[in-house]
Structure formats: structure tokens, C-alpha cells
Amino acid sequence: MKLLDLSSGASYFRSPDAAIAAAITALQEGKTYYGPSEGDATLRQTIAARYAQANVTVAPEQVMVTPGTKHALFNLITVLLREGDEVVIPTPAWFGFYELLKYSKGKLVTIETKQEQNYSLTPDDIRRVLTPNSRILLLTNPGNPTGRIYSKTELESILALLHDFPELYLISDEIYDLDTYGKPFTSALACQGPQERIIVVNGFSKNFAMSGWRIGYMVGPETIVQQSTDFQASTYSGVSQFIQDAAVATLQQQDNALPPMLEVLKENRQLMKEGLSAIPGISFFEPEGAYYFFPDMRAYIGKQNSDGQTIATTQDLCNYLEQQHKLKVANGDLFGGIGHVRMSFAVEKPVLQQAMDKLRNALQQLKPALSTNNK
């Protein structure tokens, strides 16, 4: 039996033809040298133009190209954080943030948001944890793993907090900004707020199925871009030129690649929604963006499998699904959503269909644990 894997953050789609063709051409032209540390001029220009479509004026000098969004984040936490600074992250959030912070001077401060409240995040929720040491408020929009999109009004009310905290920056991770299903998405760059302290990170891994190319970017104040460029020049140099050429072609021809991918994602989202709705005891927030469901599985934690073993934790549930049913999902505890699992619907349709059947069967087989009185 083949493992059905819904745990990955990478989609199954092929990278755009435009990216592949441009990279091959660039390689044949001998573009195998260091790319400029701040990024290729045409790529910076093309990224800036992407925001102009949303009526945001971004100068190419405000854009820096990085080897993945991860590295954009790492650049930023390196240049912004001072000893004792705090990084505020609403949870559930992508576990990669916690991993990155291990290698920084920052101290993680979390704000729990809840499925029952549609993962809402109010300025009051944030204000409660802010201190003079708060340096970065890190939002993910659309959210991974929640799929929550913060509206323009929500973002602007959150950004208003920055006026009371002059040392605080907002970093908005918008890596899933094109994977949306109807609710309008607004970049933090298009919101009212202190522009000198708003930074967006983004990349090609999710929107364009290019995770292995390692390319992303940041858009923010020129001073921060310059400091990050200095850090990147010292550590990484620049993203390979042929990869940057591929990124330019991807953005210029995105209208060919995106609609078919989005069509599949829309259908798959519906399939997963129906599959989850057919399982008793599971509740979930319907994702507005990204490509995951993050269902609450607590109704099944505490039950027993057919061998009489108790599923005591989310990890036990993940192990049970993987080992006994060949279905792999990600443990939501790692994202700060205790008792949840993250399931990607950016997989091939037959895989998704089989996975939903398997999940239903596997959970049906779990029985209430026998209490010790029954022995």
C-alpha cells in the first residue's frame, strides 16, 4: 500500500513552463555566476510592478531578492533584533518561524487565536502582550496552517498599534497571497500605517510551485533592505542569476500558469471540505487562502485502536494514521494548534479522494477507551 502524504508544504504541481524555459536558456547563455546580492535589477523592477497593480508604489530599491522566503525572514530577524527583543506571533502559525527564531536574539511571544472564533485577531489581543521590547509582529496572511485571510480593515486596525509602539515592525508573510478562494486579499503594503515599519516577505515556493528553486523576496523600507543586503552579501552572496531569470519569466507569464493551478486547488478544497464534513466529531475553519485544512481532531484523541492502544496525543493519532493506514498528516501541535492536524489539498485528486476515505475509515475504527472500572 502506497503512503498517501498530505503533510507536505510543497504542492504537487510542476513549476511553470516559463520558469523552466527561462532557466534553461539562462544556463545555456552561461549565466552561472553570482547574482547581485540585492537581486537582479529586472527582477526587482518586476516585483515592484506586481505591487503597483494593487496601487502601491514600491521602488525597486525597496525590493530585495533572497534564497527563499525563509532567508528573507532570517535576514530580517538578524538585522532587526537586539538582545532581549520580542517577536510576537499569533498561533497557530507555521513551525518554521519557531525554528528560525532559535538562531536569533529574539524571544518568542505567542498569541493564541481560536478556531471557534474563526482565528480572529484583534488589536486588543495584541496590545495585551506588547511591551517596550516588542520588536516584530509577525503575521502570516493568508495563514498557514489556518487559511485565514486578514481583511484590510483588520490589518489597518492592527497597524494602528504601531503608532503607540515606535520600536515595533510589522512583518507580513504573504507567501500564499495568490492562493485565495474568493475573499479579497490585501497586502500589508496597501494598508494605512507607518510605511517605514511595514515589511512584506513573499516567494515563489507556494504560488508557483517552485519550492526547490529557493527564491523569495522582501519589500520594505530602503534602509532595512540595505542592511539585509549587507547581511546577505556577507553570508550567501546572491541568488543564482539563472534562477532570477526564471523568476522574472514566471511573474511576466503568471497568467498562463496560475489559473489552471487555482482551478485544481478550488476543486480539491471542496473535496476535502466534503470529506471532512462527512466524519462525525471533526470541526474545521474553511480556509480562505493557502492550501490546507486544519481540522480539530480532539474528538478522536483519548480513543483506542483495535489493538487496545490508546491514542493519547495528536502525535499518537498521526502515528496511527501513518503506520496503520498509510496516511500522513502533519501534527498540528507543532503549529500551536493542540489536537489539530494539517492536511494539504495541493495533492493529486486521486490521492486526495483515497486519503479522505482512509481518514474516515481509520477514525471509524477508533473506539471509546475502556475505563478501568470495566476491567
CA angle, residues 127, 157, 152, in degrees to nearest 5: 140
Distance from the first to the final alpha carbon of the chain: 36
**Which are the contacts of 271, defined by CB distance < 8 A and separation ≥ 6?**
345, 349, 352, 353, 356
- Hey, which residues does 330 pair with through a beta bridge? 342
- Of 28-36, 65-73, 220-228, 265-273, which part binds ligand PMP (CB under 6 A)? 65-73
Nearer to ligand PMP, 205 or 229 (CB): 205
Decide whether 60 or 143 has the Cβ nearer to ligand PMP.
143
Q: How far is CA 96 from CA 118, 167, 374, in A?
A: 23, 24, 44
Distance in Å, CB of 218 to ligand PMP, minimum: 11
Query: Looking at beta carbons only, is 96 or 194 nearer to ligand PMP?
Result: 96
User: Which helix (H) or strand (E) is 169 found in, with range?
Assistant: strand 169-173
- Binding residues for ligand PMP, rule CB under 6 A, total 14
Which span sits near ligand PMP by CB under 6 A: 54-62, 63-71, 79-87, 247-255? 63-71
Cell of 12: 504537487
**Residue 193 found at the interface with ligand PMP (CB under 6 A):** no
Stretch that binds ligand PMP, among 67-75, 242-250, 279-287, 326-334 (CB under 6 A): 67-75
Q: What is the grid cell recorded at 282?
A: 471533526
Is-contact 358 277, C-beta < 8 A? Answer: no
Q: Is 140 a binder of ligand PMP (CB under 6 A)?
A: yes
Which residue carries 487562502 as its cell?
289
Shortest CB 37 distance to ligand PMP, Å: 18
Q: Is the dihedral of CA 114, 117, 118, 120 positive or negative?
A: negative
144 binds ligand PMP (CB under 6 A): yes
CB of 175 to ligand PMP, least distance (A): 5
Q: How far apart are CB 217 and ligand PMP at their closest, in Å? A: 9
343 φ, ψ to 5°?
A: -125, 125
Question: Cβ closer to ligand PMP: 113 or 144?
Answer: 144
Distance of closest approach, residue 29 Cβ to ligand PMP, in angstroms = 26
The angle subtended at Cα 7 by Cα 138 and Cα 298, nearest 5°, is 80
Residue whose CB is less far from ligand PMP, 217 or 300: 217
CB-neighbour burial class of residue 263 (10 A; exposed 0-12, middle 13-18, buried 19+): exposed
Q: Which residues contact 349 (CB under 8 A, 6 or more apart)?
A: 264, 267, 268, 271
* Site residues (CB under 6 A) for ligand PMP, limited to 69-128: 69-70, 94, 96
What is the closest distance, in whole angstroms, from the C-beta atom of residue 240 to ligand PMP in the complex? 15
State the minimum distance, in angstroms, from the CB of residue 212 to ligand PMP.
9
Q: Segment contacting ligand PMP (CB under 6 A): 123-131, 203-211, 253-261, 359-367?
A: 203-211
Q: Does 172 bind ligand PMP (CB under 6 A)?
A: no
Return residues touching ligand PMP (CB under 6 A). 9, 68-70, 94, 96, 140, 144, 173, 175, 203, 205, 211, 216
